[in-house]
Amino acid sequence: MMSRLELQLLVLASFCLLFLSTVYGRQETRSVRLGATSRTIRRVIVDLVGGSSLPGGKEDKEGEVPGGKESKEEDEKQEVEGEKEKREETAKAAVVVDVTVANFRREVLESDTPVLLDVYADWCGPCKQLTPVLEKVAIASKGQFRLAKLNSDENQELVGILNVTGLPTCFAVNEGTLTDKFMGGLPPDKLQSFLDRLVTGYGLRASKEVTDAGMKTELTEMTDKLSNYIGMTSLSFSKKEKLKSLVNEAMNNEGTMDLEKKSPSAALKLTLSYLKNAAKNIKNQKFRIIKTTSKAFSETLSKSPGCKLLLEAAGFQYKNGDISSNLDGYYELRHSNSGIVNYVLIYINDAVSRKKYGG
């Protein structure tokens, strides 16, 4: 028979053994779990960095993590997918561009390739459905047209000039001219027809026929406003100061002002008429040419050195006549930036006011 004290010691020893086994078991389980988690994290890192050589890991002779066959297959798969993504991004970069006021002239108005202008917003549900489709189509076209994406929230003044009343709104742009548009989504067949007109230039030809007939449509008027806005905002401070200096120099020359009446001379009024017509119809060849043999020019402007300098400040360049042009001599506008012409008009009016009121 065990004494009372021996029985108590036996029970205490049993509890101690039970406690130690429980603690050891928990530590072993936690160790197993940590090991599994560590291997999972390791695999994720390997996938992200695209390699299998990591510090602190045991590797085989070829530098692979144990279980290397599976890892190698994953690496190869990741590499193939990575190369595919790079090709897709390269193809996308060639035909899809984000535009703002800063690059709109270069990417849209001066583009040699037809442009599909997509006006969207990040919060617009239909935009999120349409834009990816347009991107894929642009890539598939292999350069037949480019997609220019304009964020409406970040370019509100420009969107106002485009008279956008709903999103998404898309415009066809050929040689800097707005030729077609649609708002919202289009069925596949109608979208295909829209893109066909863009790529073939059908809308541009129709627009030129209207313009040549001396008429204007909503899109041609919008093109003029857009071209003028972009042209004026694209000029740097130094360029505008240079234009102002050229205008002031020209206005100090003979023939610009009627000194007795302190008002514009007949030559200056004719010059202003030429410049206003050019600014409003910057793409119309009719207003880009000034015939020096015309009665109006020969009787007034030809005798004013100052007015000739004003034409040159606006970008007109004198050319001798030739058989191909069928002109004896003429001034031709050598750029398509209506902003330059409009700034010259502003500076001429400022100079006239100073001379008239002694400012």
Residue 67 pLDDT class (50, 70, 90 cuts): low
pLDDT of residue 325: 55
CATH of the domain at 338: 1.20.58.2190
Residue 58 pLDDT class (50, 70, 90 cuts): very low
Share of the chain above pLDDT 90, in %: 58
User: Which residues on neighbouring strands pair with residue 318, listed in sequence order?
Assistant: 331
Residue 274 pLDDT class (50, 70, 90 cuts): very high
18 occurs within a structural domain: no
**For the residues 345-355, what does the mean pLDDT come to?**
95
Closest CA to 185 of 125, 98, 143, 144: 125
Using the predicted structure, report yes or no on whether residue 25 has a pLDDT greater than 80.
no
Backbone angles phi, psi at 332, to 5 degrees: -125, 135
225 occurs within a structural domain: no
- Give the position of tokens 């144990």: 66
Q: Which of 8-12, 160-164, 184-188, 274-278 shows the lowest per-residue confidence on average (mean pLDDT)?
A: 8-12
Residue 177 pLDDT class (50, 70, 90 cuts): very high
Residue 342 pLDDT class (50, 70, 90 cuts): very high
Domain enclosing residue 66, as ranges: 42-92
Rounded to whole angstroms, the Cα distance separating 295 from 286 reads 17
Residue 104 pLDDT class (50, 70, 90 cuts): very high
What value, to the nearest 5°, has the Cα angle with vertex 231 and ends 225 and 236? 150
Rounded to whole angstroms, the Cα distance separating 47 from 344 reads 61
Q: Say whether both 257 and 349 belong to one domain.
A: yes
pLDDT of residue 320: 86
**For the residues 117-125, what does the mean pLDDT come to?**
96
Cβ atoms of residues 232 and 204 within 8 Å: no
- Residues catalogued as catalytic: 124, 127
Rounded to whole angstroms, the Cα distance separating 179 from 175 reads 10
Q: Say whether both 148 and 253 belong to one domain.
A: no
**Which range in 17-26, 76-85, 321-330 is most confidently predicted, on average pLDDT?**
76-85
**For the residues 129-155, what does the mean pLDDT come to?**
94
pLDDT digits (tens, 9 = 90+) for 214-266: 777 899 889 989 999 999 999 999 999 999 999 999 999 999 999 888 899 99
Q: Say whether both 116 and 81 belong to one domain.
A: no
Rounded to whole angstroms, the Cα distance separating 46 from 65 reads 9
pLDDT of residue 73: 74
Domains: count for the chain: 3
| Cα end-to-end distance, the chain, whole Å | 128
**For the residues 185-214, what does the mean pLDDT come to?**
86
Q: Say whether both 240 and 343 belong to one domain.
A: yes
